[in-house]
Amino acid sequence: MTTVCLTIKNMTMAYGDFVIQKDLDFTVNRGDIFIIMGGSGCGKSTLLMHLIGLQNPAKGDVFYGEESLWQADNKARQRILKRTGVLFQTGALLSSMTLAENIALPISEHTLLGAQRIRELVSYKLALVGLAGFEDYYPSEISGGMQKRAGLARAMALDPEILFVDEPSAGLDPVSAKLLDDLIRSLRDNLETTVVMVTHELASIFAIGTNSVFLDPETKTMIASGPPKQLLAESSDLKVIQFLTRGETENWAANVTKNQEACSL
């Protein structure tokens, strides 16, 4: 049984007159690990900004369940967004606070729990992401991978229904990147969180993605959607195949010779 969790309807994103993506239409089902993929500069991260209420769409809307995000007034939007957690590309931990304070921030803001209970919750969240004992460290004192895991702990602080993740593996070595992927997947499995992930890391896409949408910077719209493995097997679109195979199907050498011929007319 699938329940629709997030619907993007006929959305256009633009900076002023400059359209980034148009005619975006897709749904994310509960329990999905939904991948937003595409080449650099196609507007993946911008799309994420629209989904989490930081940038308003030029046209169209985002629906959380049945509720519209952008038709809602400020209060309703805050209420909707309370059900989400976001892991930013750099972790975006507040650098003037310790990890514990960072994670306690959303908890103390949105609940009425006492200090002791919050401290226990924080320790539990840090332990979940493998950072037990790092409560009193400042973000600048830990490594990039640890910062991302701490960011994940903060994003998961309020047990969100939907977790948004922006390029989790950017700047991480392959092993740390895989550990982070595994962590996201096991959090999804155990907490039944829906994950929406922006990435162009093929390894992650195939390892954990259950559904996806492919954004193309040239036509400025989505040109494919579906489970990544199925896309690889069935898509007939050259751009999608090229992306999913690192361009190895198209013969790079042939391309080079062709151009060489062109230049030695």
3-state secondary structure of 69: coil
Among 1, 115, 175, 263, binds other proteins (CB under 8 A): 263
What the block records as the tokens of 185 is: 């997947």
CA distance 49 to 13: 10
Binding of residue 95 to other proteins (CB under 8 A):
yes
Q: How far is the CB of 4 from other proteins (least distance, A)?
A: 22
3-state secondary structure of 127: helix
Q: Which stretch binds other proteins (CB under 8 A): 103-111, 197-205, 219-227, 229-237?
A: 103-111
Binding of residue 43 to other proteins (CB under 8 A):
no
CA distance 67 to 7: 10
> What order do you get walking across the sheet with 67-68 strand by strand?
18-29, 4-15, 59-64, 67-68
Cβ proximity to other proteins: between 19 and 232 the closer is 19
Among 10, 41, 65, 94, binds other proteins (CB under 8 A): 94
Distances (CA, A) of 154 to 60, 196, 205: 30, 16, 23
Yes or no: say if 36 and 44 are a contact pair by the CB < 8 Å rule. yes
Binding of residue 106 to other proteins (CB under 8 A):
yes
Q: How far is the CB of 17 from other proteins (least distance, A)?
A: 16
The site map against other proteins for 117-156 (x = CB under 8 A) is -------------------------------------x--
Instruction: Bin 254: left if φ > 0, else alpha if -120 < ψ < 50, else beta.
Output: alpha
CA distance 143 to 189: 27
Strands 194-198 and 162-166: parallel
CA distance 31 to 24: 21
Among 76, 110, 127, 238, binds other proteins (CB under 8 A): 110
The site map against other proteins for 242-261 (x = CB under 8 A) is -------------xxx-xx-
Among 23, 109, 182, 192, binds other proteins (CB under 8 A): 109
Binding of residue 265 to other proteins (CB under 8 A):
yes
Q: How far is the CB of 225 from other proteins (least distance, A)?
A: 25
Yes or no: say if 202 and 228 are a contact pair by the CB < 8 Å rule. no
Cβ proximity to other proteins: between 178 and 239 the closer is 239
Contact footprint for other proteins (CB under 8 A): 49, 52-54, 78, 81-82, 84-86, 88-90, 92-96, 105-106, 109-110, 154, 255-257, 259-260, 262-265
